[in-house]
Amino acid sequence: MDNLTEALQKLKLASGDGAAHGVEICLDCLLKALANTNTEASMKIQEMGILPLFPNLLNPQSSCTPKVANIIAELAKNEFMRSPCVDAGLIPPLVQLLNSTDQEVLLQTGRALGNICYDSHEGRSAVHLAGGAQIVAEHIKSLYQNTEPENEKLLTVFCGMLMNYSNDNDSLQAQLINMGVIPTLVKLLGIHSHNASLTEMCLIAFGNLAELESSKEQFASTNIAEELVRLFQKQAEHDKKEMIFEVLAPLAENDVIKLQLVEAGLVECLLDVVAQTVDGEREEDIAQLKTASDLMVLLLLGDESMQKLFEGGKGSVFQRVLSWIPSNNHQLQLAGALAIANFARNDGNCIHMVDTGIVQKLLDLLDRHVEEGNVTVQHAALSALRNLAIPVVNKSKMLSAGVADVVLKFLQSEMPPVQFKLLGTLRMLIDTQAEAADQLGTNGKLVERLVEWCEAKDHAGVMGESNRLLSALIRHSKSKEVVRSVIQGGGVKHLVTMATSEHMIMQNEALVALGLIAALDLVAAEKDFVGASLVSVLHKLLSDERSAPEIKYNSMILICALMGSEPLHKEVQSLAFIDVVSKLRAHENKTVSHQASLTEQRLTAQS
């Protein structure tokens, strides 16, 4: 350390009188000290006030300049030195040096700026103000085709500098995107894929930039998909594959890039990874299996990429994914079920899949997860069944296959995501299926659970779906037994509340179900109707100008049905319904105005 102190004192003197040789010897001593004990040497340099000497030593004409830039790069490896470097005014002269034609000056300057920017807001701001990123981006554009080792070293440093400059900073990343660095870096990756460190820098830069939505369009206009797939195929090491995965995941969120990745052969690579890691017990195998299967599912979220892989249900990829469902690996079961849910996004695919026996595979999978099962697998398999049940022709086939019975095994689940999908699946299955709605609607345990979930205020989705299923059981069965079951289970008040929902479709479903209750068993429902203030709810719906025509129409139908009950009839009279209804005779919707006339006659006749 004594040598360092001496060298620093000499440097102060030598830089003052401009003795270049003396300065150079001192700089060599500094570099040696930094190589041995970087942190201690840096603190000493900071203590002795040497940093302010450096701006004058960063002279483009001086032979000392690369060494000074190298020293700054070494100092800035320490977090505590980055702000002092900025405060000492080092950024403007360093940025000026980026205009040099000397390779060593550029290399050391790029290192210095990159290290100062690392995790330092002050460093990035200073480089931004001095216009450093723009000059580096221009250098990369002019140098990217040169494959000489020295040039590749420089490109690696420049890519690293831009990465440190923009990391975790949306506005600086957007600035780089606007400079057009993405197409250049993609070309660079193609030309230099043999160079591991340069490739790595490129991938990290892509990973940063790909998080930004505005980058996706630029990426989509390049051949990034081909380059990444080609690079992936060459990799044997887990870490390198992981690095490529980290770029692929954000890029694959874009539908255009999804298709490009599928066309470039990524899916085959992913299937290979799955095959290689499925029986592996090492942590890295488990991690790769998860990443590859998750990415596979992500690719299926794009309509075009999904349809391309489905290939009319005959695609080899589709067949491979199907084989995941019966596997013993939870991650693969999950990915397989999610993939089926994604393939089941149009009627044609759903019909084909049901006809080729996929339902049974999903039911077998669910059966394996009833007792203390994996919640994510349950959720995924139920999602797939719900989607498959959407086409009308599939409903009766799925009911015959016993889907409702298996789904009901999960009634005891305490997990809201599972509850939500369970409800949605049953609702899809009974749509237009009177017999099934009748069977489920008279299932006391189901109705009891639905009424309980109608009060799940912490889980709006579960609450909404429970109400909708309760209403659907009545609407599709049109059965007095189902109506009785809902009344006895305490479901009427929830349907009255549902009629006040902010969603018109739910309001309407509730009103139709309430109309059927009134028509099929008014006597049994009378007490609940009074208790839930149904008449006052209907008055509000009819008075509210924002209510949709079908809401007004179904409210009036219900009013007429309630007139058969004495206490409800009295409530209707006390609320002066006749005034509200007579106004609706002039409603622009003909169905509403006609029903208003009929309702007015009924109210007048029974007043």
Mean pLDDT of 521-540: 95
Question: What percent of the chain has pLDDT above 90?
Answer: 79
The pLDDT, as a whole number, for residue 382 is 97
The pLDDT, as a whole number, for residue 336 is 95
Measured on CA atoms in the order 556, 558, 561, 566, is the torsion positive or negative?
Answer: negative
Is 121 inside a domain boundary?
Answer: yes
Is 80 inside a domain boundary?
Answer: yes
Confidence of residue 11 (pLDDT cuts 50, 70, 90): confident
Confidence of residue 19 (pLDDT cuts 50, 70, 90): low
Confidence of residue 1 (pLDDT cuts 50, 70, 90): very low
Is 451 inside a domain boundary?
Answer: no
Side chain identity, residue 245: F
Give alpha helix (H) positions in 88-131.
Answer: 91-97, 103-117, 121-130
Confidence of residue 607 (pLDDT cuts 50, 70, 90): low
| Residue 170: count of CB within 10 angstroms of its CB | 12
User: pLDDT per residue over 344-379, tens digit each?
Assistant: 999 999 999 999 999 999 999 999 998 778 999 999
Is 104 inside a domain boundary?
Answer: yes
Q: Which of 369, 452, 461 is nearest to 417 (CA)?
A: 461
Choosing from 107, 130, 153, the residue where a domain stops is: 130
Mean pLDDT of 249-257: 93
Over its C-alpha atoms, the chain yields an Rg (Å, rounded) of: 35
User: pLDDT per residue over 390-425, tens digit each?
Assistant: 999 999 999 999 999 999 999 999 999 999 999 999
In the predicted model, is pLDDT for residue 16 greater than 60?
no
Domain extent at residue 96: 1-130
Choosing from 130, 157, 178, the residue where a domain stops is: 130
In the predicted model, is pLDDT for residue 282 greater than 50?
yes
Residues near 319 by Cβ (< 8 Å), separated by ≥ 6? Answer: none
Q: Which two tokens stand for residue 572?
A: 């209707």
Mean pLDDT of 137-141: 95
Mean pLDDT of 477-482: 96
In the predicted model, is pLDDT for residue 594 greater than 60?
yes
Choosing from 130, 159, 186, the residue where a domain stops is: 130
The pLDDT, as a whole number, for residue 24 is 80
The pLDDT, as a whole number, for residue 37 is 86
Is 287 inside a domain boundary?
Answer: no
Is 277 inside a domain boundary?
Answer: no
The pLDDT, as a whole number, for residue 480 is 96
- Cβ–Cβ under 8 Å, residues 364 and 326: yes
pTM > 0.95? no
The pLDDT, as a whole number, for residue 466 is 97
CATH number of 109's domain:
1.25.10.10
The pLDDT, as a whole number, for residue 26 is 85
Q: At residue 100, what are phi and psi to the nearest 5 degrees?
A: -70, 160
Is 101 inside a domain boundary?
Answer: yes
Q: Which two tokens stand for residue 185?
A: 């870096």
Integer angstrom CA distances of residue 307 from 88, 296, 321, 387:
59, 14, 14, 16
Q: Which two tokens stand for residue 44?
A: 């000493």
- Cβ–Cβ under 8 Å, residues 548 and 504: yes
Residue 486's Cβ-side half-sphere holds a number of Cα atoms within 13 Å equal to 42
Is 581 inside a domain boundary?
Answer: yes
Q: Compute the residue count for the chain.
A: 607
In the predicted model, is pLDDT for residue 163 greater than 60?
yes
In the predicted model, is pLDDT for residue 15 greater than 70?
no
In the predicted model, is pLDDT for residue 444 greater than 60?
yes
Mean pLDDT of 509-522: 96
In the predicted model, is pLDDT for residue 2 greater than 90?
no
* Domains identified in the chain, total number: 2
Long-range contacts of 344-349 (CB under 8 A, 24+ apart): 344/384, 344/387, 344/388, 344/390, 345/303, 345/306, 345/387, 346/307, 347/390, 347/391, 349/307, 349/310, 349/313
The pLDDT, as a whole number, for residue 223 is 94
Mean pLDDT of 383-390: 97
